[in-house]
Amino acid sequence: MRFFISARLKDNKPLYYMVIFFLFLSLIFWLSSWLYFYSKYGFSYETLYKYFFQDPEFPERISLAQLSEDLHIQTFLNAFYLLTIFALFILTSLSSSVKAFAILLSFLSCASYLYSDFLILYLSPTFVYLKLFSFIGFQLINLFVILYTLLALLTSREDKYTDINLLKLLMFFFSLLLMGFFFTNILAFYSKMGFSLGSIKEYYLGNPEKFLKPKTFGGMFKVFYPHLISMAVFSVAVGHFLIFAGSSFSVPLGIGLFLFSFLDNLSGFLIRFLHPDFALLKLLSFVALQGIILYSALLMLMRSKPWA
């Protein structure tokens, strides 16, 4: 992050070219987002309704486990995506008010796009329109941000427009998405396995009476493998912001992020292939990790108030 907020990005040629390539790849990601949305939801009321409720004549909601898992992934992905592109966007020569407005709109439309799922399922299917239009707005704002940043970096001579208040605003909204990540983590854990030691053991070891099969090594490794690097990146970023926020516990909290995220991932294998009582390790490491995430989000929220 500190490399992106440098007021002399062009003086570091390797970093400058990496950022240019990153923005081009962001454009590809932007295009892919439309294909992803279309393949998953479609662009009509009928297709969106069908995703959430299946058959219109015999509606049945998607499971809370599936919903929370999707939100868990999408919150993580979009939080870091927005953090990175806006860290570059604030280096451009646009006025601070325009950049602040773009940050505000992008994060609000992102939150609306992601969490409108709850409104659709528990209030009214009509909110599928909110999901659709907030997605479109989110993508249009991001297209402007990517293209303008790319144009500015390719054509301007200097990039000396870093504003500490914009950095605070960016960290403020990132911390809100971090709180959303915490919430979806809790929801995903509860909906998949529950918070009792017995239900955690049952999730991994199966239960013939409930027709639950034990987890396979291959199935578990498919989850373990991407989480290993994604949580490492997450821990580095959050630990970095704890230092930026001036936390006196940044070192132990940073170590805790790495340690408990690893134990949370590893403990499933220990339960399944070593001993069921490692369910206690699974529960404690998850609770400790979420406690650090919540504390970090609240601290960043308080320390990054742009109006203070």
Alpha-carbon distance of 226 to 237, in angstroms, equals 17
Closest of 85, 76, 78, 88 to residue 109, by C-alpha: 78
Q: What are phi and psi of 243, to 5 degrees?
A: -65, -45
Q: What is the pLDDT of residue 34?
A: 96
Cβ distance 288 to 306 under 8 Å?
A: no
Identify the band that residue 303 occupies on the pLDDT scale cut at 50, 70 and 90: confident
What whole-number distance in Å separates Cα of residue 258 and Cα of residue 292? 11
* pLDDT attached to residue 3: 45
Phi, psi of 47 (to 5 degrees): -70, -35
Q: What average pLDDT does the segment 276-290 reach?
A: 95
Evaluate if residue 51 carries a pLDDT over 60: yes
Tell me which amino acid residue 59 is: P
- Note the helical H segments in the chain: 13-40, 45-53, 64-89, 96-122, 128-155, 164-192, 197-205, 217-244, 250-273, 279-303
Residue 48 pLDDT grade (very low, low, confident, very high; cuts 50, 70, 90)? very high
The whole-number pLDDT of residue 8 equals 65
Amino acid at 46: E
Closest CA to 204 of 215, 196, 216, 191: 215
Over residues 100-128, the pLDDT tens digits come to 999 999 999 999 999 999 999 999 999 99
Asked whether the beta carbons of 96 and 306 are under 8 A apart, the reply is no
Go through 34-70 and write b for each residue having 16 or more CB atoms within 10 A of its CB, e for each that does not.
eeebeeebeeeeeebbeebbeeeeeeeeeeeeebbbb
pLDDT of res. 157: 59
pLDDT at 54: 80
Q: How many whole angstroms separate alpha carbon 195 and alpha carbon 16?
A: 47
Each domain of the chain, given as residue ranges in start order, spans: 1-164, 193-308
Task: Find out whether 73 and 81 touch, Cβ atoms under 8 Å.
Answer: no
The candidate with the shortest Cα–Cα distance to 253, out of 284, 295, 282, is 295
| CA atoms of 211 and 250, how far apart (whole Å) | 45
Global confidence as pTM: 0.88
Tokens of 63: 């499971």
> Distance between CA atoms of 100 and 85, rounded to whole angstroms?
13
Calculate mean pLDDT across residues 243-252. Answer: 75
Distances (CA, A) of 74 to 70, 110, 204, 290: 6, 10, 25, 18
Q: Tens of pLDDT along 139-185?
A: 999 999 999 999 988 887 555 556 778 888 888 999 999 999 999 99
Digit-coded pLDDT (tens) for 258-268: 999 999 999 99
